[in-house]
Amino acid sequence: MASAEETARQAERKQIRGRWLLSAPALVIIFVAAIGPLFVMLAYSFMVKGDYGDVKPGQYSLDGWFSVFFQRDIFDDTVTFADAHLSIIWRSLRLSVITTLATLVLGFPTAYFIATRPRHTREVWVFLVTIPFWTNLLIRAFAMQQVIRNEGILNSLLRATGIIDQPLQIMYTDWAILFGMVYVYLPLMVLPLYASMEKLDFRLVEAGYDLYASRLAVLRRIIIPLVKPGIVAGSILVFIPSLGAYVIPRVLGGGKNLMLGNLIELQFGAGRNWPLGAALSIALMAIVMVALLFYVRNAARSGAQHG
């Protein structure tokens, strides 16, 4: 019996080694292409900035991290909060959260509508949702610009109906960035929600109505708990790219309403402060990790409470 158990353990160890060997090329590629650059950025964030960009190898400093939240007066050397950086970080977080909520409000009924269609027509609706992915992000941003600019479609319709006399100034504001991100990232919310709702047993919904539950009660007590994995997945897929958005704030914000992605690019470009840009990049990744941990913990806690 002991020899048979030992043979089984050896076979299991051999199988595990084989799996590791098969996955080794993929792991190397992931490390070199994804994790490696992160370590480079982490090292840059602790280095001294060069005179004309780049960094000075072998010279280390905390100035990059210090400059993320603080600034030093060039005359009396006093330290104050870096209001510009903090306002950009706050704008990025605020717009990302609002974008996530807005896409959830718009995407939930859209996914529910698709999931309740006849099975042979659902693929057509999903196909229509995915059509924007065929177009480059920059083109979609310019398309939204044509909608909300002063002479765009939205203002033209409002003026034609007599609702407004003068065009609304939407371009180059936070509203423009918000509209653009909601438009671009809405499919990323609809698809995970639809994937969860497609598996929903709608007999439970009918049972709720049979027990005289209101529509709101059925939504709150039956539908939302069952499709919560889709809500969590969609929220993550929308929040992460919204937080690091670069193209949409650049096109629709006009360079005045910067977000974290624009601030990072500015430090590696015209600002020539690579340690600060690297520190901002790592800070952005830390914010994303905290958000992911928050979502995962809440999802696990909710799953444990519902058995």
Domain that holds residue 107: 82-272
pLDDT for 168-210, tens place per residue? 999 999 999 999 999 999 999 999 999 999 888 888 888 888 8
Asked if residue 247 and residue 226 are part of one domain, the reply reads yes
> Does residue 100 lie within any of the structural domains?
yes
Last residue of a domain, one of 80, 102, 132: 80
pLDDT at 160 over 80: yes
Task: Count up the domains in the chain and report the number.
Answer: 2
Q: What is the CATH number of the domain that holds 211?
A: 1.10.3720.10
In a domain, 300, yes or no: no
Q: Which two tokens stand for residue 16?
A: 């595990």
37 pLDDT tier (thresholds 50, 70, 90): confident
∠ CA(297), CA(299), CA(302), 5° rounding? 105
pLDDT surpasses 90 at 148: yes
As a whole-number percent, the residues of the chain with pLDDT over 70 amount to 96
| Same domain (yes/no): 51, 193 | no
Asked if 56 and 116 sit in the same domain, the reply is: no
Query: Is there a single domain that holds both residue 44 and residue 116?
Result: no
User: Do 76 and 105 fall into the same domain?
Assistant: no
In a domain, 4, yes or no: no
pLDDT at 293 over 90: no
91 and 179 part of one domain: yes
CA–CA gap between residue 273 and residue 55 (Å, rounded): 8
Same domain, 219 and 96: yes
Question: Would you place residue 269 in the very low, low, confident or very high pLDDT band (cuts 50, 70, 90)?
Answer: confident
Q: Is residue 294 part of a domain?
A: no
Question: Does 108 reside within a domain?
Answer: yes
Residue 131 lies in a domain: yes
Q: Same domain for 74 and 137? A: no
| 243 and 102 co-located in one domain | yes
Assess if residue 1 is contained within a domain: no
123 and 57 within one domain? no
Calpha distance 32→46 (Å, rounded):
21
| Whether residue 95 sits in one domain with residue 50 | no
Of 64, 80, 96, the domain-final residue? 80
Distance CA 260, CA 276 (A): 12
Judge whether 140 lies within some domain: yes
Same domain (yes/no): 104, 244: yes
Residue 299 clears pLDDT 70, i.e. is over it: no
User: Could you give the CA distance from residue 272 to residue 51 in angstroms, rounded to a whole number?
Assistant: 8
The pTM of this model reads 0.84
- Of the three residues 29, 53, 80, the one that is the final residue of a domain is 80
Nearest to 192 by CA among 125, 237, 253: 237
pLDDT band at 28 (very low <50, low <70, confident <90, very high): confident
pLDDT of residue 303: 57
